[in-house]
A and B are shown apart, each in its own frame.
Chain A
Amino acid sequence: MSASLEKGVRVLKEMIDAPIASYLNSCVHCGICAEACLFYTETGDPKYTPIHKLEPMRRLYEQEYTLLGRLARMVGLTKPVTDAELAEWQELVYNSCTLCGRCSVVCPVGNDIVYMVRKMREGMSAAGHAPDGLKGAVTRTVKIGSPMGVKLPAVKAQMKHVEADYGIQIPLDQEGAEYLVMLSSMEIINFPEYLGAIAKIMRHAGKTWTLCSEAFEATNAGMQIGNSDLARVIVKRIVDGAEKLKVKTVISPECGHAYTALRWEGANLIGRPFTFKVQHIVEVLEELRLAGLLKTEGMETDRLTFHDPCQLARRGGVIQPQRNLMAMIAKDFHEMPDAGFMNWCCGGGGGASAIEEGEELRLEAFKRKKSQLDAVKPHRLVTACANCRIVLEEGLEHYQMNLPVVGLTETIAEHIPDPVGND
């Protein structure tokens, strides 16, 4: 499966559908999408205008799918898409786009720009113009099982640690459990408190759950790089695991893109509807809260704010539950400007955080998050995405801001009372 310009152009051509044709014909070059993109607002460089990131796709569309464009191509009046051009566009399509979708919600003519960038990446990756950092992440996920190279023994080791720390057994491959809990490698390596929190909350709510030895990694670098064939392989593992264990619900971890990959793209990737439900952990917690199964005690008294992961909120439709959950445990909660639906990305979503050469730009773009935080001056920042958390921590460190970042699930779990007597 070697990448080439020819293959890239063919794949890109296949990606173009009626919505894209409609969008490309609707653009009036008003530039409002630029004002919504943190890579433009923080650098002032017009090349980061979201719709411009699709220029090669637009030309290909015109040359292949419009009568006038085909006529112009026949008489040699068009500029074909070249390998050098796609190489130049790599920075625009990957490094400076986190698939946050802000542009798609402001475009006055209604263009869903992020929908097009996602498809553009399919062509870019087929042409071989994807960043090395993402290529590595996909290869590791497909060959080893996770983008960070985490294997089952590492998960088992983490399970043991959590079992020792929390005194709760972590179920593995338990058939018929209600929930299959997925993890992101980031949680396995950097934030094991997530697994402990899940164990505590599930015991408290009286729910059955399990991890799966064949499918523990929820993130999908195949989707981020724009390779549906590989994204399908990664999603299929989870589908097989969930169906083998006959679970009712698969819980996507605190990770934005894992949620999009599983909840919205998964069924389309495998070509059939799922036989189980997919929920983000925040949705599960909200469901438990509404059912009266999540009873917390005590309140956090320091000044808190919440960073909405783009894929959970604007791209996933989960906005209010995290606020209801915060209200259970936070006395001094403050919203950042633009929080919720219009929240600004951490700057590292959509695989951008895996792109080494994009770091400088990412930190520049982080100024937007910094100004949001400066407006609130919280003591701690809560979020529900391990990738956001890492990117936020890097940005905060770079700007020498002393602000701890914590996960929502673990923060809730800290307020779950220990069971009375033996369990």
Chain B
Amino acid sequence: MDQLQFLTWVRGTGLNLTLAIFVLGVIWRLIEIYGLGRKQDLSAPRDVAGASGWHTIYRRSIPPPGMLKLSPVSYIGGYVFHVGLAVVVFLFAPHIALVASLLGPTWPGLPSQVVDFVSVVTMAAMVAVLADRITKPAKRFLSTFGDWFTWTLTFLPLLSGWLAVHHLLLPYTLMLALHILSVELLLIFLPFTKLFHAFTTFGSRWFNGAVNGHKGVPV
């Protein structure tokens, strides 16, 4: 298989397989998790404005009082890398063109220089949170193979994409194929690793907000 054949495979069969595993995996995991249900709370509720699951989905994006200075790298690094990732994935013109060709809808992107800058900042933020994971005792203690693995899965698409755009390290065709492959690996593993928090975070915040909102506590 030469470079072009490799690229053709990851763009065709590879992508189809990936999307099938990703979509079915996400649906299966969501059913597996939320299908467990929960008991109705029979205690008399206390109604307080702002105390609900929906409020917590939004509110939990803001650090609670005093927490930012206790874990600045987690919060600032976390913001930068999540927002940066979203910008690079959804606002880079070639990505928009890919979605348009697969699904139809399109939207305006950002100039490639801006996306380039954002991707470098995002990678820097990811390196910072990795360093924080290694140096902070509680984080290092909690870390398992899954943490290092998913960090790598997330970092490789950014790095390979950036290298491909800049025609660095490997021939463009091969680097592009590797970039697409790395994204496919990310999507395949997403439903079955901690990366699935991309979906469950919203459910978790909602449950937390709803359980405590029942007591009139806006959490």
Contacts and interface: CB of A to CB of B under 8 A. Distances in A.
Q: Do A and B come from one complex?
A: yes
B44 interface: yes
Nearest to B216: A317
Interface in A90-116: 104-112, 115
B149 interface: no
Name the residue in A68, A110, A273, A341 with the highest tally of chain B Cβ atoms < 10 Å from its Cβ: A110
Contact of A105 (B39, B51, B219): B219
A171 B204 CA distance: 47
A314 interface: yes
A379 interface: no
Interface string B5-41: 0000000000000000000000011001111111101
B141 to A, nearest CB: 3
B168 to A, nearest CB: 31
B74 A29 contact: no
> Interface of chain A, helix or strand or loop or mixed?
helix
Interface in B63-80: 63-67, 70-71, 74-75, 78
Given A263-B43, A267-B43, A17 B38 contact: yes
Contacts of B137: 44, 46
Interface residues of A, number: 59
B201 interface: yes
Interface residues of B, number: 61
B208 A104 contact: yes
B3 interface: no
Interface string A240-283: 00000000000000000000000111111001111001100000
Given A105-B219, A315-B217, A32 B74 contact: yes
Contacts of A23: 204, 207-208
B139 A317 contact: no
Contacts of A268: 39, 41-43
B217 A18 contact: no
Nearest to B56: A110
B196 interface: yes
Given A21-B36, A29-B142, A110 B65 contact: no
Interface stretch (A47-55, A135-143, A144-152, A214-222): A47-55
Contacts of B159: none
25 contacts: A17-B39, A18-B34, A22-B203, A22-B204, A23-B207, A26-B197, A26-B200, A28-B197, A29-B133, A31-B138, A32-B74, A35-B67, A40-B138, A46-B140, A65-B36, A68-B192, A104-B212, A106-B64, A108-B63, A108-B74, A112-B207, A115-B211, A268-B39, A268-B43, A316-B215
